[in-house]
Amino acid sequence: MRNYITTFRVDDSYSSLYAAHEDVFISIGKGEGNGKLKETIYKMDKVEDNLLKNFMYVKNQGLLFNKTNIDVNGKPTIQDPDTNRPIYIGDGIIPQIERFASKYGYNKLTVQVMQTAINMMCQKAENPTGNKFIFVVNEALWNQIQLALSEWLARFNTCGTYLWSKEANGYVKVGATFSTYEIGGKHFIAA
């Protein structure tokens, strides 16, 4: 697999009037009655600031979602129209992951679903055991993992101290936060 330096391009257009007033504060006065004047002050954005903001947006989105424009011969499919120089676009992280990832649909996250995902990943790993897989999850999936592992732990009637403890103030703390799951020498780590 080849890695290419990805080109990110943004541009902006502005009028000569805008260029002349770029560093100027603009105040707009509005009469409110009784002879009072309410004034609102606006500052025009610099073109460079707008370009930088747009560039960072395009770069961040591209690093996630870009699909490569490199053909089978290693040449880019688009060129700069003015200079005819090639514009290279590499794959973002999501297309790179999707290229090698297995897809598995589920309706409710359970420990069995987690075991299936771990086993599918182990099939692509060098060793069948001793692997540690880190899953980057959003808040909704994090909550599903907590629920699935707490149901799994409760089903086995394990020692209650895993699920509750007595606080110093006499109250009882119930529940747990699960960050890893291990089965057969394979670790599932949610981050």
pLDDT tens digits for 162-174? 667 777 787 777 7
State whether 117 and 79 are in the same domain.
no
Instruction: Determine contact, residues 27/44, Cβ cutoff 8 Å.
Output: no
pLDDT tens digits, residue range 6-43?
878 788 887 887 777 777 666 666 666 666 667 777 77
State whether 110 and 177 are in the same domain.
yes
Q: How confident is the model at residue 61 (pLDDT cuts 50, 70, 90)?
A: very high
151 domain residue, yes or no: yes
Quote the strand ranges of the chain, DSSP E. Answer: 25-33, 36-43, 132-135, 164-166, 172-174, 180-183, 186-190
pLDDT score recorded for residue 60: 92
State whether 84 and 152 are in the same domain.
no
Instruction: Determine contact, residues 22/46, Cβ cutoff 8 Å.
Output: yes
State whether 67 and 144 are in the same domain.
no
pLDDT tens digits, residue range 75-131?
889 888 889 988 888 888 888 888 877 788 889 999 899 888 888 888 888 888 888
Instruction: Determine contact, residues 183/115, Cβ cutoff 8 Å.
Output: yes
Which residue among 60, 93, 126 closes a domain? 93
Which residue among 35, 66, 93 closes a domain? 93
Domain total in the chain: 2
Residue 20 structural domain = 16-93
3 domain residue, yes or no: no
State whether 39 and 77 are in the same domain.
yes
8 domain residue, yes or no: no
State whether 145 and 74 are in the same domain.
no
Of 126, 79, 111, 124, residue with least CA distance to 188? 111
pLDDT score recorded for residue 25: 65
State whether 140 and 164 are in the same domain.
yes
Q: How confident is the model at residue 1 (pLDDT cuts 50, 70, 90)?
A: very low
pLDDT score recorded for residue 151: 84
Q: How confident is the model at residue 160 (pLDDT cuts 50, 70, 90)?
A: low
State whether 86 and 122 are in the same domain.
no
Provide the token pair at 119.
Answer: 């086993």
Q: Is the pTM of this model over 0.85?
A: no
Which residue among 52, 76, 93 closes a domain? 93
Q: CA torsion 183→186→190→191, rounded to 10°?
A: 150
Q: Rounded CA gap, 29 and 24, in Å?
A: 16
10 domain residue, yes or no: no
